[in-house]
Amino acid sequence: MMLSSAHAKLRRLAKRLRARSISGSAALEFAMVAPVLFLFIFGTIETGVIFFAQTMLQNATADTARQIRTGQLSGTLTASQIRASVCSEVDGLITNCTTGLQVDLREFTSFTGASYPSVSNADGSINTGALQVQSTSDCSIVLLRTFYAWPIMTPLMTPFLQTGSTGTSVLTSSAAFRTEPYSSSSTC
């Protein structure tokens, strides 16, 4: 009898220890898998946010291009005027829009004569010296381009999301159009 009760106690103890070891192994396995899981989740979220910011920048650039096309913004424009128009629509998502957004506005006489140089450096950053803001007139061909260097937050996603070697993803947007006749005496 005494042997069987001691044996039963040992079995119960062994069963409890086994149950504890199983729950501990689950925590250990999660600790090993969690960094990869969280990196994947954060990378997916950041990729979605970058895509959303790109879409917002494209819409804001298209709306600003419409203002130029219809003559609401015309004549001798400045980069700060265009930047203010674009930034008013992406405010909140792009945090330092007024200082970080770069604009390029060029006027041409025809679509076939249009040429637009690259404004990026070899490292993927924006060459601000190549940017121009030309005056616009009615019935002219206009190219509006906007650029924003989006900082990448997820460290291990940087090689996959960056543009060049700057640790940022350069969001770009463009709109090419012919401006309307601003006055009733103009004909295109």
Residue 30, pLDDT score: 86
What pTM does this model have? 0.79
Task: Tell me what percent of the residues of the chain surpass a pLDDT of 90.
Answer: 37
What is the tens place of the pLDDT at every residue in 114-126?
A: 788 888 888 888 8
- Between strands 168-178 and 102-108, the pairing is unpaired
Predicted confidence band of residue 98 (pLDDT cuts 50, 70, 90): confident
* C-beta separation of 101 from 147 below 8 A: yes
What is the tens place of the pLDDT at every residue in 22-59?
A: 566 777 888 889 998 998 899 899 999 999 999 999 99
Q: How far apart are CA 112 and CA 25, in angstroms?
A: 68
Residue of 8 and 101 predicted with greater confidence: 101
DSSP assignment of 141-154 equals: EEEEEEEEEEEP-S
* C-beta separation of 146 from 128 below 8 A: no
Does the pLDDT at position 101 exceed 90? Answer: yes
